[in-house]
Each structure stands twice: as structure tokens, then as C-alpha cells.
Amino acid sequence: MFDVDYSEPRSLSEVISLLTAPDAGAVLLAGGTDLIVDLRHGKLSPRRVISLWGVPDLRGVRRQDSGAFSIGALTTASEIAEFFAACPEAVGLSEAARLLGSRQIQNVATIGGNICKASPGADLVPPLLCLGARIALSGPLGSREAKIDGFLTGPGRSARDDAEILTSILLPPQHAGSATAFLKIMRRRAEDLSIVSACALVELDGSGERILRCRIALGAVAPFPFLSLKAEEILTGSRLSTQLLHRAAAAARDEAKPISDIRASMEYRRGMIEVLVCRAVLIAVERARGGVENQ
């Protein structure tokens, strides 16, 4: 049993008041898939657990007239997987959500929790990096937005202040001819943490041959998921070829900083970066060509 106080506030202001109370020692509860494990293993010993589920407007995906999306921080992986499954420019986010643990985990794990846990292998972060996501936070000093690129600073660390709440994730509209793809390697065929993950976004010209824009993000191969800028530079503005794709994949491999751990060796991770980058780019290109042909 956990000897902690439990609160169910009904507004953001009430959450912030509880977080900023003297000697609060509080943690936030979203899906709880990581928090409960940390409590059981004694990694955390808070005085208070604050549930966010009573706060309105923190759940669900909304599409704006501009084509942008707003995703509430309490939106579950299952909801994200279903919503974006038929959205070519963001289907990579759906694929990442569908690979985030078991179906039971997906039904409770939230996008806000996945981000704020700041795991190097956070599955939802590489697609969000490719999509140029911004996050909205509220705290005692008011509300602010921040790019997700640069928000995570290391294992378990982010630019979120302890008294701030991540309220939503904002996805800007993508151009026609854009598509994404997400892949990851696990020890088991499903329901496991990432050994290596990769997401690619490509935007093609009207002919479907030239890459106008490219983003490649990697997970589980550095202290935090990151965009491979060198790989993007190689592919942007080019006509895709096997040689060029392998150059880009090698550049992504060289930007990574993988480690050896219980799941895989550093050498294995380096090799798999190249494999996943090549496959993700090819899948994204094929999807983008389908979009261009249907315009």
C-alpha cells in the first residue's frame, strides 16, 4: 500500500495550487502506467498524488479549420492510434501509438505521460518531432508553448517546471504530398520497449519524385529522441536513390549515441538505425506518392 494523499482537482488552477503548496511533494497522475511501477519499486515517495482526470478539456483530438490538430494531454494511445490511422501525414503517430505496449496499456497510457516521462525510447516522441509538434503548458506564471524539439533534455528530464502541467500537443498543418512512417525493433514481436525506433516524414513535389522536405527522428539511441539533421539535409531537395538513402541512414547512425544495456548492444543498435531509417523513408515515400496521385 502507498501511504500518500490522493487528490482529484476539478480545474487547472486547483492542480497548480496543489503543486505549489508548501512542502507539496506531489506528483501528477495521468495514465499511471509508469507512476504506479515507480511507486511500487520505491523510485518515488511523494506526499500527494494528484489525478488529472477530473480536469475538463484535457482529453481528445480536435482538428482545426487550418488543418492543425490539438491533442489533449490525457488522450490515450488507443485513441491516438484510431484517430490518425487514416491520416497519411500523421499515420506514423498512429503506428507508434499502436506499438506502445499491450492493448491494455494503450487504453490507459496518455500522450502527455509519454512525453513527460522523458524516456529515451518514448514511442510517441519521434513522430511528434517529425510533425513539428509544439506543447502547451500551464503553471503559476501562466501559459506558454514550447517546441517538442529541445523539450526533452535527458533520461527523465525535460524543460517542464515541476509546477507546470502539460495540457495539450499542437500539430501544425502539413502540406499536400506529405506522409509519415514509424518503425521500431523490440526483443519480442509486440508489447515491449524499443531497442531502436525511427520515424520519417517526407513531402514530395507534384511529380512524386523529388523530396521537398524530409524529417527523420530516432528513439532509444541517445539520451532523448532527436531529429537527425544531417540525414534530412542529404535527402531534402533530392530525387531518392538507393545510394542517397544509404548515405542518409549512415548519417543518422553517426549522429546517434546508443549504449549497450540489457536489451541490446551499442553495435546492434547502430546497425539497426540504418535498417529502420531506410525502411521508414521508403514507406513514407510510397505513402506520399499515393497522396500526390490522388490530388
pLDDT value at residue 295 = 55
* pLDDT tens for each residue of 205-235: 988 899 999 999 999 999 999 999 999 999 9
DSSP state letter for 13: H
Q: 178-293 in CATH: which number?
A: 3.30.390.50
- Look-up of cell digits 487528490: 7
pTM of structure: 0.94
Q: What is the model's pLDDT at position 3?
A: 75
pLDDT tens, 99-138?
Answer: 998 889 999 999 999 999 999 999 999 999 999 999 999 9
Placement of cell 531537395 in the chain: 237
Q: What is the pLDDT of residue 22?
A: 82
The pLDDT > 70 percentage for the chain reads 96
In sign, the C-alpha dihedral spanning 119, 124, 130, 131 is negative
The residues of the chain that CATH labels 3.30.390.50 are 178-293
Q: Where in the chain is the domain with CATH 3.30.465.10?
A: 61-171
DSSP string, 102-129: -HHHHTT-BHHHHHHTT-TT-TTHHHHH
Q: In the CATH scheme, what is the code of domain 61-171?
A: 3.30.465.10
Q: Classify domain 5-51 at the CATH topology level.
A: 3.30.43
Given a cut of 80, is residue 181 above it in pLDDT?
yes
